[in-house]
Amino acid sequence: MKLNIVPAKTGALWVKQGARTFVRQPIALTGLFLMFMALMSLVSMVPLIGGVIGLMLIPSASLGLMAGAQEALSGKFPRPMTLFCAFRVSKDKTKQMLLLGVFYAAGFLVLAGLSALVDGGGFAKFYLVGSTLTKELILKSDFQQAMWLALILYIPFSSLFWHAPALVFWHGVSVPKSLFFSGFACFSNWRAFLMYTLTWAGVFASVALVLGMLSSLGEESAWVSDLLLPVMLILASIFFTSSLFSFKDCFSSETILA
């Protein structure tokens, strides 16, 4: 395994490569993302511990979405069980991925706890247990401060886990080392990831602008609201597909485990 430093423009290329790969298997990749969302929703329904279990499964599920993108890139049809590839190779891989999930859940709960120090837990409750989000709550200054604090802290936190699932599963890297290498790779390639973020922000803003313009046409534009959900699902699926290429460009190896 070798860490690569890529130019800033590569970040935009990741988005383009993700879109091209998605077009190869749009139904399968969108289906995998829907399965991911359904799994998170079902797990969150478990009393008391559902939210924590859901957090623990995020690294493994995100790996499954990347594996689906890898299959589409290879000209294969991503099967539903691809989403659970983290648990289908060996007991050792399963243990490592579950340990990574424990680290993710613990770290996320720490972030939520820090945000609770600002607003008394309003933002954390909304995010973790799905409490009702009201207009009054959104307008509260302490809620907004907690939201921004959580967002700022989540950026370096997410960099630790951006590549970690793939490093553990495909390269056999230990969990602590995978977190270090993932964070180091994101930091070393911050220009490319900044361009990646800005490109996606531009995509979402452009789509929102187009839909907004269409919805302003009057009664004849009522159908536009029906497009919102499928368009968001497609964009989210392309986003997870594009994450594969950020991993491929940041790390190189002669072999990738199946």
pLDDT grade, residue 258 (50/70/90)? very low
pLDDT at position 120: 84
Structure-block tokens of residue 223: 């159908």
Question: Which ranges of the chain would DSSP assign to H, the alpha helix?
Answer: 10-24, 26-44, 50-73, 91-119, 122-129, 135-139, 141-162, 164-171, 175-188, 190-215, 224-250
pLDDT of 129 reads: 67
> How many C-alpha atoms does 17 have within 13 Å on its Cβ side?
18
Token code pair at residue 25: 């298997």
Residues 85-126: tens digit of each pLDDT: 999 888 999 999 999 999 999 999 999 899 888 888 878 877
Q: 109 is written with which tokens?
A: 């709960």
pLDDT at residue 74, rounded to an integer: 93
Residue with tokens 């079902």: 42
End-to-end CA distance of the chain: 16
CB 6 within 8 A of CB 250: yes
Sorting pLDDT into bands at 50, 70 and 90, what band is 253? Answer: low
What integer pLDDT is reported at residue 138 of this predicted model?
A: 74
pTM of the model: 0.88
> Which sequence spans correspond to the domains of the chain?
2-252
Q: Could you tell me which residues come within 8 angstroms of residue 258 by beta carbon, excluding any fewer than 6 positions away?
A: 89
